[in-house]
Chain A
Amino acid sequence: MIPPLRFSYLFVYFAGILLLSACGPRETAVERGNREQILSRGMGPDLSDLDPALATGTSDYTVLSALFEGLVAEDPVDLHPVPGVATSWDVSPDKLTYTFHLRANARWSSGDPVTARDFLSSWQRVLTPKLAADNASLLYLVQGAEAFNKGLVTDFSKVGFAAPDARTVVITLEHPASYFLSLLQHWVWWPVHTPTLEKSGSLYERGNRWARPETFVGNGPFTLKEWRLGQRIIVEKSATYWDAATVRLSAIHFYPIEDINAEERAFRSGQLHLTEALPLAKIDTYRATQPQLLRIDPYLGTYFYRINITRPFLNARDVRRALALSVDRDLLVKNTLRGGQLPAHAFTPPGTAGYTPQARIETDFAEARRLLAAAGYPDGKGAPVIELLFNTSDNHRVIAEAIQQMWRKELGLDVRLVSMEGKSVLAARRTGDFQIMRSSWIGDYADPLSFLSVWTGDSGNNYTGWSNPDYDLLLHQATRTDDSAAREALLQKAESLLLADAPFIPIYYYTHVFLLQPSVKGWSPTLLDHHPYKHVWLQP
Chain B
Amino acid sequence: MLSLSPKKLPSADLAPAQLEQGVSPWRDAWHRLKRNKLAVFGGVTLIVLVLACGVGPFFSPYGYEQTNLDNTFAKPNLSHWMGTDQLGRDLFTRLLYGGRISITVGLVATFVALTIGVSYGAVAGFFGGKLDAFMMRVVDILYALPFTIFVIMLMVFFGRNIYLLFVAIGAVEWLTMARIVRGQIMSLKKMEYVEAARSLGFGTQRIIFRHMIPNILGPVIVYTTLTIPGVMMLEAFLSFLGLGVQAPMSSWGVLIKDGAEKMEEYPWLLIFPGTVFSLTLFSLNFLGDGLRDALDVRSAKD
Interface residues of A (CB under 8 A from B): 1-2, 261, 279-282, 284-285, 328, 331-332, 334-336, 394, 397-398, 400-402, 404-406, 408-409, 416-420
Contacting residue for A336 out of B72, B242, B248, CB 8 A: B72
Task: Tell me the complex Cα distance, A420–B160, Å.
Answer: 14
Q: Check B261 against A335 for contact (C-beta < 8 Å).
A: no
Contacting residue for A405 out of B66, B180, B262, CB 8 A: B66
Q: Check B247 against A404 for contact (C-beta < 8 Å).
A: yes
In the assembled complex, which residues on chain A have CB atoms less than 8 Å from the CB atom of B20? Answer: none
Task: Tell me the complex Cα distance, A58–B265, Å.
Answer: 30
Given the known interface contacts A261-B261, A394-B261, A402-B67, the answer about A336 and B87 at a Cβ–Cβ threshold of 8 Å is yes
Chain B interface main SS type? loop
Measured CB to CB, the nearest residue on chain B to A280 is B86
Q: Check A398 against B87 for contact (C-beta < 8 Å).
A: yes
- Most chain A CB inside 10 Å of its own CB: which residue of B73, B180, B265: B265
Task: Tell me the complex Cα distance, A331–B266, Å.
Answer: 21
Known: A282-B265, A285-B265. 20 other contacts (CB 8 A): A1-B223, A261-B261, A280-B86, A281-B73, A281-B261, A281-B262, A281-B265, A282-B262, A285-B264, A332-B69, A334-B69, A394-B261, A397-B247, A401-B87, A401-B248, A402-B67, A402-B87, A405-B65, A406-B67, A408-B65
Contacting residue for B248 out of A261, A280, A282, A404, CB 8 A: A404
> What is the minimal beta-carbon distance from B162 to any residue of chain A, in angstroms?
13
Contacting residue for A419 out of B67, B242, B248, CB 8 A: B242
- Of the four ranges (under 10, 10 to 19, 20 to 34, 35 or more), the interface on chain B belongs to 20 to 34
In the assembled complex, which residues on chain B have CB atoms less than 8 Å from the CB atom of A419? Answer: 242
Q: Please, what's the 1-or-0 string for B51-95, where 1 marks a CB less than 8 Å from any CB in chain A?
A: 000000000000001110110110000000000001110000000
Q: Check B87 against A331 for contact (C-beta < 8 Å).
A: no
> What is the minimal beta-carbon distance from A228 to any residue of chain B, in angstroms?
21
Q: List 5 A-B contacts (CB under 8 A).
A: A285-B264, A335-B70, A336-B86, A398-B87, A418-B242
Task: Tell me the complex Cα distance, A261–B246, Å.
Answer: 21
Task: Tell me the complex Cα distance, A74–B231, Å.
Answer: 54
Given the known interface contacts A401-B248, A405-B67, A417-B246, the answer about A281 and B266 at a Cβ–Cβ threshold of 8 Å is yes
Residues 18 to 70 of chain B near chain A (Cβ within 8 Å): 65-67, 69-70
Task: Tell me the complex Cα distance, A334–B265, Å.
Answer: 18
Measured CB to CB, the nearest residue on chain A to B269 is A281
Contacting residue for B70 out of A261, A279, A331, A405, CB 8 A: A331
Given the known interface contacts A397-B247, A416-B246, the answer about A2 and B87 at a Cβ–Cβ threshold of 8 Å is no
> What is the minimal beta-carbon distance from A418 to any residue of chain B, in angstroms?
7
In the assembled complex, which residues on chain B have CB atoms less than 8 Å from the CB atom of A334? Answer: 69
In the assembled complex, which residues on chain B have CB atoms less than 8 Å from the CB atom of A397? Answer: 247
Task: Tell me the complex Cα distance, A409–B67, Å.
Answer: 10
Q: Check A331 against B69 for contact (C-beta < 8 Å).
A: yes
Given the known interface contacts A401-B247, A405-B65, the answer about A281 and B86 at a Cβ–Cβ threshold of 8 Å is yes
In the assembled complex, which residues on chain A have CB atoms less than 8 Å from the CB atom of B264? Answer: 285
Q: Check B265 against A284 for contact (C-beta < 8 Å).
A: yes
In the assembled complex, which residues on chain B have CB atoms less than 8 Å from the CB atom of A282? Answer: 262, 265
Q: Check B180 against A1 for contact (C-beta < 8 Å).
A: yes
In the assembled complex, which residues on chain B have CB atoms less than 8 Å from the CB atom of A404? Answer: 247-248
